[in-house]
Amino acid sequence: MNQQVLIIGLGLIGASLAKGIRQTHPETTVVGWDHSPTTCQTAIEKGIIDCCAKDFATAAPTADIIVFATPVSVTLSYLEELAQLRLKPGVIVTDAGSTKSVIMEAATNLPFTFIGGHPMAGSHKSGVNACDADLFENAYYIFTPLAKDQAALQTLHELFAGTRAKYVELTANEHDEITGMLSHLPHIIAASLVNQADHFNQEHPRAKQLAAGGFRDLTRIASSDPLMWTDILLSNRETLMSQLTLWQEQMSKVQRLLIHRDREGIYQFFHHARDTRDRLPVHKNGAIPAFYDLYVDVPDIPGVLAEVTGLLGEAGISIINLKIQETREDIQGVLQISLKNQQDLEAAKTCLTTQTPYTCRVK
């Protein structure tokens, strides 16, 4: 595939796509551009891209494929500018935005082939330094093509073959409804819980200490980039207003159950939720990136952290994050180790189970 690919936006997603393309298609020239000169320089130094464009308007006309790994609102602005440039005949343009309806609506009037895209993967870290060619492995890569664009779609399938993602085609509306329910709404709820707890902490300072355990895990997605999520909510506004109305109705139902002391109704509320959740796939990449955490019961003695991390290091297992849960009041502590993927999780559990007396478990 001897061609030139231009990737706009060299954050986690854009840089990871660029790295994957270079590994799978070494004959392809990958040009990058980012509003941050430092990011561009880092991408070159790390071999993520072949070169950095001087500016968007200069690089776009020479590209065979253009990938926007930018927020939806930013992509829309660039598409307007792109429509005014003299591009290569047959150029294919795609994006990696989290919502698709607004983008695809704009695409109907563009003078070039545009295919909406959304690689549904993420990481605990962000930015060019967090790039990972394996980020999208076994994740769903959703495309929202127009019916006439099947040949261009196949070209993108080949370009992104190195991601080892599972390709799915949806309409833009289907995509936004599904991600709205399974990703966007949960992020809103998590952020709301954290904000409510923050107000609560003003009156009950000890609550913050107790929140370090399960509450922190439950709301961990609230740590997501606020700028990115502002863009997502505004670009999926109609869907989320509808979902929030349904959520408020659910909460009102629970409130009524409490008012009437409806023991059976409360039981059924939790029973149905437990049954539904237990049937969900385990550690599959979906609308919200999976977390691969190993919990290790360790004694409060000097050197235990060095022992655990040393064993994992000798086994070649990379640790994304390490945290000691602080809510235990006995002599045993809980070490929470975040791994990169399911394979590393299983390897870490086997390593520590066979080489230490510590209990390891996966929630």
**Per-residue pLDDT, 329:** 47
Residue 90 lies in a domain: yes
Residue 283 lies in a domain: no
The stretches of the chain forming alpha helices (DSSP H) are: 12-24, 37-45, 56-59, 72-82, 101-107, 150-159, 172-179, 185-203, 206-210, 214-218, 226-235, 237-259, 263-278, 304-314, 342-355
Closest residue by Cα to residue 18 from 34, 36, 30: 30
Residue 134 has phi, psi (to 5 degrees) of -95, 10
**Residue 139: other Cβ atoms inside 10 A:** 20
- CATH code: domain of residue 30: 3.40.50.720
Q: Are residues 263 and 310 in the same domain?
A: no
Q: Are residues 108 and 49 in the same domain?
A: yes
Q: Are residues 139 and 233 in the same domain?
A: no
Q: Are residues 163 and 15 in the same domain?
A: yes
Residue 286 lies in a domain: no
The strand ranges marked E within the chain are 4-8, 29-33, 51-52, 65-68, 92-95, 113-119, 140-144, 166-169, 292-299, 319-325, 332-339, 360-361
Residue 287 lies in a domain: no
Q: Which two tokens stand for residue 162?
A: 């190195």
Q: Which two tokens stand for residue 71?
A: 């927020």
Closest residue by Cα to residue 155 from 145, 31, 49, 70: 145
19: CB partners within 8 A, 6+ apart: 48, 131, 132, 133
Q: Which two tokens stand for residue 316?
A: 């070649």
Cβ–Cβ < 8 Å for 153, 92:
no
Which of 256, 278, 300 delimits the end of a domain?
278
18: CB partners within 8 A, 6+ apart: 5, 7, 10, 30, 32, 43, 48, 49, 131
Cβ–Cβ < 8 Å for 221, 190:
yes
Q: Which two tokens stand for residue 155?
A: 């070209």
d(CA 310, CA 331): 22
**Per-residue pLDDT, 49:** 96
Which of 125, 140, 170 delimits the end of a domain?
170
Give residue 120's domain range: 4-170
Residue found by looking up tokens 């109907």 in the block? 108
56: CB partners within 8 A, 6+ apart: 8, 33, 78, 81
Number of domains forming the structure of the chain: 3
Amino acid letter for position 226: P
Q: Are residues 263 and 325 in the same domain?
A: no
Q: Are residues 271 and 300 in the same domain?
A: no
Q: Are residues 115 and 213 in the same domain?
A: no
Q: Are residues 110 and 214 in the same domain?
A: no
Q: Are residues 211 and 105 in the same domain?
A: no
Q: ∠ at Cα 313 (310, 318), nearest 5°? A: 130
**Per-residue pLDDT, 330:** 47
Q: CB-hemisphere CA count at 13 Å for 356?
A: 22
Residue 284 lies in a domain: no
Which of 278, 311, 345 delimits the end of a domain?
278
Residue 353 lies in a domain: yes
Determine whether 173 is exposed, middle or buried from the number of CB atoms within 10 Å of its CB (0-12, 13-18, 19+).
middle
- CATH code: domain of residue 306: 3.30.70.260
pLDDT in tens, the chain (363 residues): 579 999 999 999 999 999 999 999 999 999 999 999 999 999 999 999 999 999 999 999 999 999 999 999 999 999 999 999 999 999 999 999 999 999 999 998 899 999 999 999 876 667 888 888 888 888 899 999 988 888 999 999 999 999 999 999 999 999 999 999 999 999 999 999 999 999 998 888 888 777 766 788 788 888 888 988 999 999 999 999 999 999 999 999 999 999 999 999 999 999 999 999 888 876 556 666 667 888 898 887 788 889 999 999 999 998 877 877 654 444 467 888 888 777 888 899 999 999 999 889 887
d(CA 74, CA 47): 26
Q: Are residues 309 and 333 in the same domain?
A: yes
Closest residue by Cα to residue 118 from 61, 57, 182: 182
- CATH code: domain of residue 199: 1.10.3660.10
Q: Are residues 132 and 263 in the same domain?
A: no
**Per-residue pLDDT, 356:** 92
Residue 352 lies in a domain: yes
Residue 34 lies in a domain: yes
**Per-residue pLDDT, 149:** 85
Q: CB-hemisphere CA count at 13 Å for 68?
A: 28
Q: What would the pLDDT profile of 303-336 be if each residue is shown by its tens digit?
A: 888 999 999 999 999 887 787 765 444 446 788 8
Q: Are residues 103 and 18 in the same domain?
A: yes
